[in-house]
Amino acid sequence: MNPASHSTKGSRQGLILLLISLASFMGALDATIVNISLPTMSKYFQTDVATVSWVAMAYLLVLSGTLITFGRVADIHGYKKIYLSGFAVFTIGSLLCGLSATIFLLIGFRVLQGAGAAMLQAIGGAMIVRYLPEKNRGIAFGILTTSAAVGLAAGTPLGGFLSQFYSWHWIFFINVPVGIMAIILGIAVLPGDTKEFGRGKLDIAGAGILLIALVSLIFLLNMGNNIGWLSWGMLVAIIISVAAWAGLIFSEKRTQSPLIDLSLFRNKNFTMAVTVALLVLLVGQGSWYVFPFYLELGKGFAANIAGLILLVPTIFMMICGPLAGFFSDRIGARPICALGSAILIAAFAMFALMGAKTELYYIIIALALEGIGIGLIMPANFNLIMGMSAKGSEGVMNSLVTTMRNVGAVMGIAFFTFIFLSVIASQGVSVAGVTAHSLPPKAFAYGLHAVFFFGTVVGGALLVLNLALRQKKKAPDGK
């Protein structure tokens, strides 16, 4: 049993889990809520699409690039301090975003908001390990996963509603009262940081190199399909990213207080588990990016109906997340993850067979299976990885998993788009300047089948990895 859990019992544990889930929800919500309003912002600020896209990109880059650093800072200085600071920065950043008078101020304040979100997401799982009893961790990780899924799903419809009936400013203003309430509640219910914190020091050089490495990697994954993988800008980004990753490995091996303990990756079990964390978001986010094209262009559904259909996997993730966490506490994470992988393979095999005449019920069943598969894997995998964390390194471990998921999500969009366009080009269709609506139906179908077949292969890799994992058996009392 975690010693900290003795001081956090009953309703207080529930309030702590509420706070952790709220932070996860808000961080995920603000990753997607602006996307639907980017055209409105472009018109409001009278700026081009490329510039306004940085409103979304800036948040993503800072969030992903600083997670591990803030996880380490939290391990050193305490979770309560970082949690309260994170919500304060996030709330102030949200307010300033809503008040921005120019597009460049808005982008700058999105950087601030992203830093606050990173502080919150870096320690969610670590706070569960520290403050909640071990026997309930799995279901807590399930609720945490569900909170993020709800935030991602709610972003687009909520952003559209606020932009249409109020203004884009309210996309950011809505965070302010929520942030203030979270800070007040956090002051009241979170345990004070003990003397266990305050040990060690931050590897500032490693943090800077890691930021460059992650930002350059995510930038090139996001922009490769848009500006060309062989363009000069992309080649420079690749060189910077490779050099930064090499520099990070060299730096971390030489420092006495590394930001990331690279020896962790010598543990095959750990390496396989974090690879699962990356691949499950790669295949999930990639499919969710491609699926609207199938529903709207292949099936002819209106955008609002397609949006409702795409809520199906999220709903099943919400249902399965807590259940997966609950059972991973009792029978172990490995069988839950393996079952989820098998279901995910079935979902993508069904996707690969879809066409213009596929019935709606078939599509909904396949999407439901995808949601069940991902909903089973994510919390159980998180529970397994956090169980490997050493005392005092929970923040870094949590932020490492979250970073792997974020990178996986970006890789999913990049890989699925690259495969889709490559297969279309192989059919003799020039993809330069082509729009989705102008694609020949046959080439469009080939592209979709290829990406869904790729998803099936990734599902197979997930199954192999999860079957190969080994999990330490718990004592009969669950300790």
pLDDT tens figures, 106-141: 999 999 998 998 888 888 878 887 788 777 777 888
Highest mean pLDDT among 123-127, 256-260, 276-280, 424-428: 276-280
Q: What is the pLDDT of residues 137-186, one digit of tens each?
A: 778 888 887 787 777 777 767 777 777 778 888 888 988 998 999 899 88
Task: Write down the pLDDT at residue 367.
Answer: 94
Q: Is the four-CA dihedral 325, 327, 332, 334 of positive or negative sign? A: negative
CA 277 to chain centre: 10
pLDDT of amino acid 476: 40
The chain-wide mean pLDDT, for the chain, equals 81
Max intra-chain CA distance, the chain = 66
Residues 6+ away with beta carbon under 8 Å from 191: 4, 7, 8, 80, 131
Burial class of residue 279 (count of CB atoms within 10 Å of its CB; 0-12, 13-18, 19+):
buried
346 band by pLDDT with thresholds 50, 70 and 90: very high
Owner of token pair 């880059």 = 61
Taken as a whole, the chain contains a residue count of 479
Q: Are 37 and 172 in contact (CB under 8 A)?
A: no
* CA atoms 229, 235, 236, 242: torsion sign: positive
Assess whether pLDDT exceeds 60 at residue 205. yes
**Sign of CA pseudo-dihedral 433, 59, 179, 409:** positive
Please tell me the predicted confidence (pLDDT) of residue 148: 79
Relative orientation angle of helices 312-331 and 333-352, to the nearest 10 degrees = 150
pLDDT at 5: 43
Residue 15: which residues within 8 A CB-CB, separation 6 or more? 185, 189
| pLDDT tens-digit readout, 238-271 | 899 899 889 888 887 787 777 777 777 788 888 8
Q: Rounded to two decimals, what is the model's pTM?
A: 0.77
Share of the chain above pLDDT 70, in %: 88
Residue 177 amino acid letter: P
Confidence of residue 197 (pLDDT cuts 50, 70, 90): low
Instruction: Check residue 429 and give its pLDDT.
Output: 65
Q: Tell me the Ramachandran region of residue 187: left when phi exceeds 0, alpha when psi lies from -120 to 50, beta otherwise.
A: alpha
Between CA 54 and CA 303, with CA 41 as vertex, the angle to 5 degrees is: 95
- Which pLDDT does position 150 carry in this prediction? 78
Architecture per CATH, domain 1-199, reads as Up-down Bundle (1.20)
pLDDT tens readout for residues 290-324: 887 788 777 888 767 877 888 888 889 888 888 88
**pLDDT at residue 19 greater than cutoff 50:** yes
Instruction: Write down the CATH superfamily of domain 261-479.
Output: MFS general substrate transporter like domains (1.20.1250.20)
Please check the confidence at residue 78 and state whether its pLDDT lies above 50.
yes
- The string of pLDDT tens digits covering residues 31-65 is 777 777 777 788 888 887 667 778 877 888 888 88
Q: How confident is the model at residue 339 (pLDDT cuts 50, 70, 90)?
A: very high
CA distances, 307 to each of 310, 313, 352, 363 (Å): 5, 11, 20, 13
Measure the CA–CA gap between 63 and 61, rounded to whole angstroms: 6
| Spatial separation of the C-alpha atoms in residues 265 and 278, rounded to whole Å | 14
Q: What average pLDDT does the segment 440-462 reach?
A: 87
Judge whether 367 and 376 are in contact, CB under 8 Å.
no
